[in-house]
Each structure stands twice: as C-alpha cells, then as structure tokens.
C-alpha cells in the first residue's frame, strides 16, 4: 500500500502543479479579456518591433541590424545594444508553432509569452523550494505563491512583453540549478547552471544580480568555514562556462572582465583556487602551526587581491560601476548627477504599503521563513538567507526591484507555512505518556538536569489543531482574494488605451494614443521625422512606424537634452534646432482637457533639468518658476514658461473649447488666460478627440526669406 500511496501522491502533485500553472496563466489575462490582445506600456513596443523584424528577416540580419528609424540622425546599432533572449524565444516559439501547423500571429505570441512563462516560473519555484526542505507541501505552496503573487504579476500580465517576462523564470531556474550543483558537487549541474545563466544574460540586464549573488553565497560559505570540494567544483564550473557564455552576447561583450559589477565573481574564483590548493596541502601535511600559517596566508592573499582590485579600478583598468548600479548604493547619486535615471518613476524608493500591496501575507511570513532557514543551516539555506538580505535591500531602494525579491519571499513564506501546517495538520496526536516513555527509554546520554528541563513537545489537543489550521486556511484564501483583486484592479490596464467609467457604470474607452499614431501612419510620408519626448519614442516607432529623434533606450543623453532644449526654449531658438535635425512633426501629450496627469507639462521640468545639464547658460530651471517659486501655467506663469515651445504647443487654441473666461486646465486645476499662444514656426496638424495628443507640422522656411514672426 506504500507504493499505492506514493503513486497517488505523485498524481496529486502533477495535478496540483497543472492547476497552479493554470491559475498563473488565467490570472494574467484580465487585460486581454477586458480590452484586447495588444502590447502595453512603452518598452514592450520596441521588443515587439524587434521581434517582428526577427521573424521577418531571419536571425542573421537581426543579429547585425542597424536601425535607421530611431535616434535620427544617429541611428542605433540594435543588434549590439539589446538583450536578444526575449525576441529569439518568441521567434523560436513562432517557428515551432508553424512547424506544428498552428500558425499563430506573432503579436499573440508576444502578448501571451509572459503568462506562459509564469507557469514555468511557478514550476521552478517548486523545484527550488524542494531543495530547501523535506516537507512535501512547501514546494507546492511556493509554486502557488509564485504563480499569483502580485509582485511578479505586475511585470508579467498578458501584453507586458518585457524582458522580465522570461527573466524571472530564468532567475529562479538558475538558482535552482546552482543549489542542485552545490549540493551534488556535480560538474554537469554546474554546466547547466552556466547555460541557463547565459540564457539569462541574453535576456535581461538584471543578470548582474546573479553574478553578484552566487559569489556572495560562496564567500559567506567560505567565511563560515564551510568550504568543500563540492563548492569548488560547482562554483568554478559555473564561473568558467558562465562567463564565456555571457561574453557571447554582443551587448555584454568584454564587460565580465572589465567592469566592477563582475569583479566579485572573478575574485571568488581566484580565491577558491587558492583555497583548493591549501586544502590539498593541509590534507598532505598535518600540523597545527602549519594550519595557522595557512589561515594567515589565505587572509593575506585575499587582502592583497582586494587591494589589487582597488588599484586596478582606480588606475582605470577596470571600469567603475555604472550609474544605474551605483545609484543602488548611494541613493542620492542619481538625483544629483544623472537626472535621466531619477526621472523614471520606477527608480524611486519603495514605500511600506507597496510591500503589503504586492505581497500581502507573504511579507510577514517571509522573516519567519528566513528564521526557519537559520534553524537547520545547511549550504542551501545560507543561500536563502543571503538572497533574502540583498533582495530586501534592493527592493527597498528601488520600486522595480520588488520583482527580484518576490521569488525569495515566496520560497521563505512557503517554508514557514508548510512548517506550521506540518506541525498542526498531523492527525495522529502523541499521548503524553508515550512521549514520556520514549524519552525515558532513550539511553541516558544527556544529563539528568537537561532531561528534566526539557518540556514535553507536541501538539495534543484537537482543538488547537483545528483552530490553527483553520486560521492558516483563511489567511491563504484571503491571500488568493487579495491577489486577484490587486491584479484585476491595479495591474491589468494597458496604458495605450485609457478606460473610464460613465455615470451609469458602463465602460468608456479613451483611445487617443492609437488615434494619433494611426493618423501619423496614414497621413505622413514614410520617412517623416517625429520629435517627441523620449517616453513616446518606442510607441511611435512601433505603432506609427515613423522615425523618431529619441526613444526609451536613453543611450545618448546629449541627444535627449537637445530635444529637451527644443521643447523648453523660445520658438526662435527651437526652430533652428528642429531644422538641423530634419524634424517634420512634433508630438506632445496634453492631459488638460481630460485630467490625464501623465502629460508633457507635468514632465516638463525634467526636460528642463536634462537640458540644463548640457546647456546651463541657455536653459535655466529657475526661469520656469514664478518669483515665489511656484510652477504655474495660468496668467501668472513666467515669460520663459509662456514662450517655451512646450507651453505653446500644449495650450495652442485651447481656450476656443470654452466660453470666454472659462478655460480650465483640469490637471493643474488652473484657469487659463483668454488668448491663445501664437505659434509662428509650426502649424497644428492633428489633435486627437480628447486633446491628449497634439501633433504639429514644422513649417518650411519662408519663401522670400523673412523670419516666421514677421511673415
């Protein structure tokens, strides 16, 4: 009957895992069912465009694709400046489905890629947790948590075709393979770990997290005196193969030997060689003095290595940390030196409610799970502890890194819940007499005092079992409700279409973005250059299919500052800039009529700041504030503000919508003057239904050579 119970359990496991995968996929489909199957947000539009290019032109031309329709007039060497993992994955799926005679549109594959991979993420969380504990339920709980936790759903709903869609699966799976390799001390598992690490490097810039976490884990193990030959085999195999694998990606190239982010991995690699050698010598020659000598020489060489690294970094052989990475340590660095990093909303520190919102009860089970890891501290538990510490720190510094914290929270919380359930869900109660008898029958190795002080442990009463189990069950159910509610209300709205409710409760869709992009696509010539703020670069490239000046890949800060200067200067200054860059149309986003707060007037100060960083004499942030230091757009606004191109383009003819004296900006809550700003160098080409997107055509030079204001 033992065999039969075993097979029943296996079937149950498989069924439960399939149900979890089903729930993970289903809970991500809100936006597809409510709206339609489209790509959301900004970045995914570039990924989608690149995937279409890959599918249409094949892998080789994708690999060295020079894109001349972005960053006009510079262009972008796309093949060497992207992580190709996501596109290649969906390209492979596309061709595999075609080979199976299931021709699916590439857009649907891109939209549904993230939900599909979330099922795999849940499965790898199951595998990872099973390595941590012997409890049969922990893995399944972790899979269930991982499947529906909003912290992960927020980046992987259907339509969110971003790198994180597959990267989190690869992250968790690489960690699983690492733990497996470390436990078995097997080269093959180390090599598998390196291969998946390579895949992760190909997919997401967050691979640096793995590159730093694995050496840190190894280092902590060494410091705890847990160096073993298994650690040597698994780490060095991973490093040797993984580093070579990561260097195959053109975007990464020589970074693994040249930048500071990768130096911990190299340092631990060298340190392990030394340790292995000393370990061998120690086994060869016994002797107490020699061991102390070993200890000191190890510490000494480690110190010298660290010193050499510092010297090499300061001498410039090794590049220092990049700005994005550095701002994780010095949290005020980005705000002072690199406004473009600080201007992104998801690079802000996390507030407390966000942790509860994204993880609900997992966040208070998480420390308990980490504590339980301390109780039987084996090598793999050290990993969870290290990961938990660093994951929490990074998630506290930056909102978007909540994503890398979520896997370890799910694993630790699952360990905590399963240990509660294992203790309280055991139907067989020990009777006190039996326990006492068992205690007495043990050989009297322990001292009498110790035995006397030891309480009789065990859960006896059925009542306490029922109460605790029921409470846990209710929490779990509430967790499911919370996750569904959060996913449905907070994370399932495509930013391309804005949904609002009519007074009778029916849904009203505001579709101005696509209206305007479609207008651009159909009514402008094929190579008309569009100037807009960088936020909309990818969407214009993806939906309107027109060349842009700047886009969300903010690789050239000066070029962005040029656009910022053109937007924030007087027309006489902006017009030559736009002529020089062959701009045909200028696109601004204006939410004043509808109360849409994410518009360009609210982003305007960032344009000013970024432009001021390059031309401090020509653009000054101070000039955009009133004498009392207020940022105003009504009659009291400063002259610099009123004469800036952005202000003029946003409010051009806006007062004609209202009766005299009634023109109101609903976002800023301000009453506007009755006269419209005058635009001399450009003419209004298109304004969408709700005035969210306004497109202006840049006028040609005057026929008889006058300047535009005189003409």
Partner 1 sequence: QSWDKVVVNLVNYYQEQTPQRTKLIDAFMAFLVAVGGLQFVYCVLAGNYPFNAFLSGFSATVGQFVLTASLRIQTTEANKSDFPSVSPERAFADFVVCSLILHFFCVNFIN
Residue numbers at the binding site for partner 1 (CB under 8 A): 184-188, 190-191, 194-195, 228-230, 232-233, 236-237, 239-241, 243-245, 247-248, 254, 257, 273, 276, 281, 283-285, 290
Residue among 226 and 581 whose Cβ is closer to partner 1: 226
In three-state secondary structure terms, 693 is strand
Q: Are 259 and 265 in contact (CB under 8 A)?
A: no
Q: Are 513 and 19 in contact (CB under 8 A)?
A: no
> What span, in angstroms and rounded, lies between the C-alpha atoms of 260 and 208?
10
In three-state secondary structure terms, 419 is helix
Q: Name residue 513's beta-bridge partners.
A: none
Residue among 227 and 355 whose Cβ is closer to partner 1: 227
- State the nearest-atom distance from the C-beta of 188 to partner 1, in Å: 4
Closest Cα partner for 409 from 457, 461, 445, 355?
355
Q: How many CB atoms lie within 10 A of CB 708?
A: 16
Instruction: Give per-residue burial for 499-537: e unless 16+ CB within 10 Å, then b.
Output: eeeeeeeeeeebbbbbebbebbeeebeeebbbbbbbbbb
- State the nearest-atom distance from the C-beta of 284 to partner 1, in Å: 4
Kindly give the residue spans of alpha helices, DSSP state H, lying in 106-228: 106-132, 138-148, 150-153, 164-184, 187-203, 207-223
> What span, in angstroms and rounded, lies between the C-alpha atoms of 616 and 377?
56
The single-letter DSSP state of residue 675 is S
Q: Are 47 and 162 in contact (CB under 8 A)?
A: yes
Residue among 250 and 430 whose Cβ is closer to partner 1: 250
- State the nearest-atom distance from the C-beta of 575 to partner 1, in Å: 46
What is the C-alpha radius of gyration for the chain, rounded to an integer number of angstroms?
30
End-to-end CA separation in angstroms for the chain: 97
Residue among 270 and 635 whose Cβ is closer to partner 1: 270
Q: Are 408 and 384 in contact (CB under 8 A)?
A: yes
Ramachandran angles phi, psi of 684, nearest 5°: -70, 125
Residue among 51 and 243 whose Cβ is closer to partner 1: 243
Q: Are 141 and 414 in contact (CB under 8 A)?
A: yes
Closest Cα partner for 532 from 328, 303, 693?
693
Residue among 189 and 479 whose Cβ is closer to partner 1: 189
Residue among 198 and 542 whose Cβ is closer to partner 1: 198
- State the nearest-atom distance from the C-beta of 182 to partner 1, in Å: 12
Q: Are 288 and 245 in contact (CB under 8 A)?
A: no
> What span, in angstroms and rounded, lies between the C-alpha atoms of 252 and 84?
11
Measure Cα distances from 480 to 23, 105, 136 in Å: 10, 33, 21
In three-state secondary structure terms, 133 is coil
Residue among 203 and 644 whose Cβ is closer to partner 1: 203
- State the nearest-atom distance from the C-beta of 270 to partner 1, in Å: 10
Residue among 382 and 412 whose Cβ is closer to partner 1: 382
Q: How many residues does the chain have?
A: 711
In three-state secondary structure terms, 132 is helix
Q: Are 687 and 694 in contact (CB under 8 A)?
A: yes
Q: Using CB atoms within 10 A of its CB, is residue 474 exposed (0-12), middle (13-18) or buried (19+)?
A: exposed
Residue among 45 and 189 whose Cβ is closer to partner 1: 189
Residue among 79 and 150 whose Cβ is closer to partner 1: 79
167 Cβ contact list (under 8 Å, min separation 6): 85, 200, 203, 204, 206, 207
Residue among 106 and 195 whose Cβ is closer to partner 1: 195
Pairing state of beta strands 585-589 and 530-531?
parallel
Residue among 210 and 245 whose Cβ is closer to partner 1: 245
Residue among 83 and 491 whose Cβ is closer to partner 1: 83
- State the nearest-atom distance from the C-beta of 185 to partner 1, in Å: 5
């Amino acid at each position: 009957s033992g065999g039969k119970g075993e097979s029943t359990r296996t079937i149950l496991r498989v069924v439960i895992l399939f149900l979890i995968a089903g729930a993970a996929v289903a809970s991500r489909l809100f936006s597809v069912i409510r709206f339609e199957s489209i790509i959301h947000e900004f970045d995914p539009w570039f990924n989608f465009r690149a995937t279409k290019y890959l599918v249409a032109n094949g892998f080789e031309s994708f690999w060295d694709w020079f894109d001349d329709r972005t960053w006009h007039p510079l262009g972008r060497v796309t093949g060497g400046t992207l992580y190709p993992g996501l596109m290649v994955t969906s390209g492979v799926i596309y061709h595999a489905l075609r080979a199976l005679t299931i021709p699916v549109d590439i857009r649907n594959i891109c939209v549904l890629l993230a939900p599909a991979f979330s099922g795999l993420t849940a499965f790898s969380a199951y595998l990872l947790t099973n390595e941590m504990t012997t409890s049969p339920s922990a893995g399944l709980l972790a899979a269930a948590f991982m499947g529906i936790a909003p912290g992960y759903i927020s980046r992987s709903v259907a339509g969110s075709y971003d790198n994180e869609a597959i990267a989190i699966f690869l992250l968790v799976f690489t960690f699983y393979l690492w733990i497996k390799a470390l436990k078995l001390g097997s080269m093959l598992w180390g090599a598998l770990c390196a291969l998946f690490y390579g895949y992760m490097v190909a997919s997401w810039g967050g691979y640096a997290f793995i590159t730093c976490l694995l050496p840190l884990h190894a280092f902590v193990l060494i410091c705890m005196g847990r160096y073993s030959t298994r650690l040597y085999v698994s780490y060095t195999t991973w490093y040797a193969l993984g580093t070579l694998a990561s260097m195959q990606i053109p975007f990464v190239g020589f970074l693994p030997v040249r930048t500071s982010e990768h130096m911990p991995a190299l340092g631990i690699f060298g340190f392990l060689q030394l340790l292995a050698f000393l370990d061998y010598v120690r086994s060869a020659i016994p002797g107490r003095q020699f061991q102390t000598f070993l200890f000191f020489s190890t510490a000494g060489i480690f110190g010298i290595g660290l010193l050499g690294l510092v010297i090499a970094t300061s001498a410039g052989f090794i590049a220092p940390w990049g700005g994005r990475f550095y701002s994780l340590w010095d949290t005020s660095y980005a705000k002072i030196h690199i406004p473009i990093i600080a201007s992104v909303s998801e690079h802000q520190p996390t507030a407390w409610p966000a942790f509860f919102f994204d993880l609900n009860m997992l966040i208070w089970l998480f420390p308990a799970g980490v504590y339980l890891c301390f109780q039987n501290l084996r090598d793999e538990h050290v990993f969870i502890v290290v990961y938990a510490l660093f994951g929490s720190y990074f998630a506290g510094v930056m909102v978007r890194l909540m994503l890398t914290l979520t896997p370890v929270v799910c694993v630790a919380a699952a360990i905590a819940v399963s240990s509660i359930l294992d203790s309280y869900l055991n139907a067989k109660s020990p009777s006190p007499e039996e326990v006492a008898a068992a205690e007495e029958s043990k050989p009297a190795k322990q001292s009498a005092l110790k035995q006397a002080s030891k309480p009789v442990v065990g859960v006896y009463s059925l009542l306490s079992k029922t109460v605790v189990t029921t409470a846990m069950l209710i929490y779990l159910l509430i967790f499911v409700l919370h996750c569904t509610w959060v996913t449905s209300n907070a994370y399932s709205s495509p930013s391309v279409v804005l949904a609002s409710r009519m007074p009778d409760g029916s849904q009203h869709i505001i579709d101005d973005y696509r209206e305007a992009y479609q207008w651009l696509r159909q009514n402008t010539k094929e190579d008309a250059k569009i100037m807009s703020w960088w936020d909309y670069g990818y969407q214009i490239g993806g939906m309107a299919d027109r060349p842009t000046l700047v886009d969300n890949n903010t690789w050239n800060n000066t070029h962005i500052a040029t656009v910022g200067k053109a937007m924030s200067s007087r027309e006489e200054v902006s017009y030559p800039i736009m002529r020089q860059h062959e701009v045909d149309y200028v696109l601004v986003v204006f939410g004043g009529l509808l109360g849409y707060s994410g518009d360009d007037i609210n982003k305007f100060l960032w344009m000013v700041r970024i432009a001021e960083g390059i031309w401090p004499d020509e653009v000054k942030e101070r000039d955009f504030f009133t004498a009392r230091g207020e940022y105003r757009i009504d009659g009291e606004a400063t002259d610099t503000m009123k004469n800036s191109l952005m202000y003029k383009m946003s409010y051009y003819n806006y007062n004609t919508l209202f009766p005299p004296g009634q023109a109101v900006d609903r976002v800023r809550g301000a009453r506007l003057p009755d006269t419209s700003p005058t635009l001399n160098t450009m003419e209004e080409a298109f304004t969408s239904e709700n005035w969210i997107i306004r497109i202006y055509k840049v006028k040609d030079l005057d026929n008889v050579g006058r300047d535009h204001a005189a003409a």
